[in-house]
Each structure stands twice: as structure tokens, then as C-alpha cells.
Structure 1
């Protein structure tokens, strides 16, 4: 869509004059607070909160007084903060049909400044159910992990008692047997050598005149 240079300039300066979040969410029957910032030149100007997708036809729900005093109308309140160059709007007792497009605006001579914000109201029941499902799922996972951990520990103990301990005992017995065999062999060889020497000496004595 083609826009004239004048409209483009107004839109650009409006974006620079006031800023706000693109989207905010709040629970049904709860509240939501929207904070919008502006340039310091608009500190004493009145601020407003408007509902409707169309900027030119949106319905103003609440206005500030130009001071920092909070203004409250029904479920809506608005408060300006000159020190921080921002103002905040609070919507209370949210309903499903509050979901809509809103505008943070600055009242001025000529064309007002504004920025569009989408407000979404979600059902607490659905969110609670999904949260409880996640919690129960995580609880089941943790309990399954504990059961598998216990099974692993029991299996380890069973293997330790029935396999590892007897294997260690058998290995120790084999080592001791090998040590004793290595000690007996030299002793038997020494006895055999000593007996051979004695036999040779006796034979020599018998042969000698």
C-alpha cells in the first residue's frame, strides 16, 4: 500500500516518540501491567490506553492527568513516571474477551503518538492442567529412574556376592598354589642333586683298592 511522505514521517516520528511491548499475556481473573516509554519532551502530556485494531477508531479506556498521580477507572488504572519517562497501564480481573489489540498513546496538539500492543488472556484451568501433567510426568520419570537405580544396585550386589567374590577367592588360591609349587621345585632338585653326589661318592669308595 502506497503512503504519502507526510504519513510516513508521522508514523516514523510516532515510533520514536513512544515504545511498548509487542505482546503481553495475563491469566483469566488475574491482572496484566503494560509499561510504555516515551521521550522526555512528552513528560507533562496526558497518556492514554486505547482498545481496537484500528488506530483512528480505537476506544480510549483511560487517560492520565498529566501528573504522576495514578488514575483508576473500573478495572483499569494508569500511572505516569516522569523520572523514568514511562507510564504503566494495569488491567485487572481479566476476561477472555479482553484479548484484543490495544494502544499506548500520548495526547498532543495535532496527531497523537501511539504504539500498538497485543494483549492475550489465557485460561488458568488449561495452564494448570498442562502444568500438573508436566509435574506428574516428571515425577513418574524420577520414580522410574529411582527404580532402575535400585535394580542396578541390587544386580551389582548379586554379581559381587555370587561371581566376583568366589572368583577372587579362586584367584587367590591359584596364586598361593603357584607360589608353593615354585618353592618346592628347587628343594626337590637340591635333594636329587645331593643324592646323586652321595651315590657317586659311595661308588668311588667301593671301586678304590
Structure 2
């Protein structure tokens, strides 16, 4: 508890809750994690928030687990000033497998949005973009729109500007799309996406 309070900035109450989830005999691993976060632009407030919501992060392997993910986000264009904000809002991004989840998510989004900058914009708007199940959620939703005749520009509009709609459970997405069609909106027009958002 003293480490969580003194080194991570948690309140005694938050430290007590967090201490039930994380235990360590010496501070070497937690210190390495905190140093990595600071080296990558996390300020004290962000570190406190991150550890409060995700205390087991202190036990992660900085070199083999955390650093490769941080390097991946930098490699796709997430700036050092933006990444701490994204990861603080969605610390579960540090839980996902780089090879089996984060990279496939990125590649799918890029195949839909075509431009790397739009992928980053989408990630800023909705961290779910990288937390979502690509195979069972994102891909079927995009496929449905294509089958209805929605052009690439319309699909990109939905994913980039209304990501929370693009990443909802497929069964719900089908229902919403059907309702929008019944209202008379044309899937080939951009207004179709706006109607999905409204419904």
C-alpha cells in the first residue's frame, strides 16, 4: 500500500483496493513499469489513473510485453503526446496480444479507411476500435454495408466518424440498418450513415 500511495499517487482508499489485486516482494518490476511509462510521456496524473484502474500493470514485463505495444502504436503514427491519453482512457489496450489482436485490428481498419491518419483519428474517437472483435463484429458490419451497395466512402465515413456505431454487436447493427432502410434511406448515399447514427 505504501508503494501504491508514494510511488503511484493513489489515495489510501484506492491503494487498499488495488493491493488486493497486486502483490510484490520488491519494487524492481513496478519501478521498471513506472519508468517506462514516464519515458513515454505519461505524467503523474495519468500514471495514477492508469494504476488505479489497472493495478496489475505494475507486474507486467516492461521489456517483452509493454514496450513492444507502445512501439507498435508509435510506429503507426500515434504521437508521444497522444498515446498516454489513449492508454489512460483504455488501459485494456495493454492487455491485448500484439500479434493476435492489435495488429489485425489495425490492418483491418486500414483496409477500410485506406489512409493511416484516419485510423489514428478513429482510435482517438473510440478506443473500442482496437478493443473490438474484428472477426465477429467489425468485419460482418462492414460486409453488410458492402452487400447493400454502400460505397467505400460511406463505409469510411461510418468507421471514422461514428466508430461506436461501426463496432456494435452485429445482430444489433443488422436491426438498425434494416430500420434505416425501411425509413427509405439509400445505402449508396452518405446520409445513410447519418441515419444509422440517429437511429
Scaled by the length of structure 1, the TM-score of the pair is: 0.24
Greater RCO between the two (CA within 8 Å, min separation 6)?
1
Q: Which has the larger radius of gyration?
A: 1
Give the structure with the larger helix fraction.
Answer: 2
Scaled by the length of structure 2, the TM-score of the pair is: 0.25
Give the structure with the larger strand fraction.
Answer: 1
